[in-house]
């Protein structure tokens, strides 16, 4: 049976680049993008698109049947900062969308499911440095609670019903193509835009706030790698810790100054500081490295060069 991929929430920060990469690998027509809104021109022009509300079981099923979908990536969710403003909606979206795809997989409508978790599953009582795969998990945000519950349900569906679900706890993801969608690590994207546009940035996280982060290309590679792994190598069916780098706002500012010497950073924290303070500062991802060969490629220096060069070109084209 040919692989046919459906991405739900394809127009977001990660979904956009994941769709483009999977189309490059599998062919444009083998990757169906879907969302409740249209995406970038590049995404919309590069292959099939369907409107799907992840909360509606039947609309997902119709598209799965129409294209004979084999693999589903559920990228639709409400993220940490927005989730704190709309807790009930965040819970409803994050849980119902997951149950829909888990149940469709259980009923044999498709074969393999990717669902992302997050470092938000950890909380204030979790060890902050080099946070282990298995440790105390008492998340304090609605988003984190939904991701932790989601992880438990993924493992349950794997154990009880043999659903081939695979998951990664993404750290903060940094990219230039699509803007981030309301997370606590969004500052690390905004800072590059502001450096080029106005030469300064007022950070909503304080100096010293160190968080685990990853450049988009590494996140996409990890996602595709875990989906391509042999099922027996995916030993953890809740979600894998995943890491690349950790840094503070002042460390990223220093990297920017090497390329934009006049750049200045100031600090004015808001409600997102509390969320950041509850999360790990660094992550032990040795299980992902051992089980399915995960290896990151991009560090803070390389990422800063890519972000500033790519955004510079993008702004010149506008």
Ligand X SMILES: NC(=O)c1ccc[n+]([C@@H]2O[C@H](COP(=O)([O-])OP(=O)(O)OC[C@H]3O[C@@H](n4cnc5c(N)ncnc54)[C@H](O)[C@@H]3O)[C@@H](O)[C@H]2O)c1
Question: Active-site residue numbers?
Answer: 143
> Which CB, 84 or 260, lies closer to ligand X?
84
Contact window for ligand X (CB under 6 A) among 32-40, 126-134, 230-238, 290-298:
32-40
> Which CB, 76 or 308, lies closer to ligand X?
76
Contact window for ligand X (CB under 6 A) among 103-111, 169-177, 269-277, 289-297:
169-177
* Residue, CB closest to ligand X: 12
Binding ligand X (rule: CB under 6 A), the pick from 4, 43, 77, 90 is 77
Tell me how far apart the alpha carbons of residues 32 and 48 are, in angstroms, rounded to a whole number. 5
Supply the minimum distance, in Å, between the C-beta of residue 262 and ligand X.
28
Kindly state the number of chain residues that form the binding site for ligand X, as judged by CB under 6 A. 28
Tell me how far apart the alpha carbons of residues 140 and 315 are, in angstroms, rounded to a whole number. 38
> Is 12 one of the binding residues for ligand X (CB under 6 A)?
yes
Supply the minimum distance, in Å, between the C-beta of residue 157 and ligand X.
17
> Which CB, 97 or 260, lies closer to ligand X?
97
> Is 172 one of the binding residues for ligand X (CB under 6 A)?
yes
> Is 13 one of the binding residues for ligand X (CB under 6 A)?
yes
Contact window for ligand X (CB under 6 A) among 29-37, 64-72, 127-135, 198-206:
29-37
Supply the minimum distance, in Å, between the C-beta of residue 199 and ligand X.
25
> Which CB, 79 or 306, lies closer to ligand X?
79
> x-or-dash pattern for ligand X, window 88-127, by CB under 6 A?
-----x----------------------x-x---------
Is there a contact between 123 and 148 (Cβ–Cβ < 8 Å)?
no
Q: Which of residues 176-235 bind ligand X (CB under 6 A)?
A: 180-181, 183, 185
Is there a contact between 255 and 301 (Cβ–Cβ < 8 Å)?
yes
**b/e 246-269 (16+ beta carbons within 10 angstroms → b):** bbbbeebbebbeebbeebebebeb
Nearest to 242 by CA among 216, 210, 213: 213
> Is 19 one of the binding residues for ligand X (CB under 6 A)?
no
Tell me how far apart the alpha carbons of residues 239 and 166 are, in angstroms, rounded to a whole number. 7
> Is 131 one of the binding residues for ligand X (CB under 6 A)?
no
Tell me how far apart the alpha carbons of residues 155 and 162 are, in angstroms, rounded to a whole number. 9
* Angle in degrees, 0-180, between the axes of helices 187-197 and 249-259, rounded to the nearest 10: 30
Instruction: Work out the number of other CB atoms within 10 angstroms of the CB of residue 92.
Output: 14
**b/e 169-196 (16+ beta carbons within 10 angstroms → b):** bbbbbbbbebebbbbbbbbbbebbbbbb
* Angle in degrees, 0-180, between the axes of helices 87-106 and 57-67, rounded to the nearest 10: 40
Contact window for ligand X (CB under 6 A) among 11-19, 106-114, 153-161, 241-249:
11-19
Tell me how far apart the alpha carbons of residues 262 and 259 are, in angstroms, rounded to a whole number. 9
Contact residues: ligand X, CB under 6 A = 8-9, 11-15, 35-37, 52-55, 75-77, 79, 93, 116, 118, 170, 172-173, 180-181, 183, 185
């Amino acid at each position: 049976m040919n692989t046919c991929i459906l991405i739900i929430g394809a127009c977001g920060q990660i979904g956009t680049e994941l769709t483009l990469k999977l189309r490059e690998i599998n062919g444009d027509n083998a990757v169906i993008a879907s969302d409740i809104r249209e995406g970038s021109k590049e995404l919309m022009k590069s292959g099939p698109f369907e409107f799907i509300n992840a909360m509606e079981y039947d609309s997902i099923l119709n598209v799965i049947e129409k294209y004979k979908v084999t693999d589903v990536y559920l990228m639709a969710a409400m993220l940490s900062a927005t989730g704190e403003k709309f807790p009930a909606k965040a819970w409803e979206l994050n849980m119902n969308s997951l149950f829909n795809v888990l149940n469709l997989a259980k009923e044999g409508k498709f074969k393999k499911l990717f669902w992302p978790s997050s470092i938000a599953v950890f909380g204030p009582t979790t060890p902050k440095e080099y946070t282990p795969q298995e440790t105390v998990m008492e998340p304090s945000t609605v988003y984190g609670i939904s991701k932790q519950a989601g992880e438990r349900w993924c493992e349950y569906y794997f154990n009880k019903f043999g659903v081939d679900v695979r998951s990664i706890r993404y750290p903060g993801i940094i990219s230039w193509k699509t803007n981030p969608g309301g997370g606590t690590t969004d500052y690390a994207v905004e800072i590059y835009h502001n450096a080029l546009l106005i030469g300064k940035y007022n950070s909503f996280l304080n100096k010293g706030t160190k968080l685990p982060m990853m450049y988009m290309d590494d996140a996409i590679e990890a996602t595709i790698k875990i989906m391509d792994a042999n099922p027996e190598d995916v030993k953890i069916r809740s979600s894998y810790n995943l890491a690349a780098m950790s840094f503070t706002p002042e460390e990223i500012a220093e990297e920017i100054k090497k390329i934009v010497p006049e750049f200045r950073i100031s600090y004015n924290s808001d409600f997102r500081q509390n969320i950041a303070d509850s999360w790990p500062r660094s992550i032990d991802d040795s299980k992902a490295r051992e089980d399915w060969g995960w290896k990151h490629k991009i560090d803070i220096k390389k990422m800063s060069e890519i972000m500033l060069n790519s955004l510079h070109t993008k702004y010149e084209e506008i």
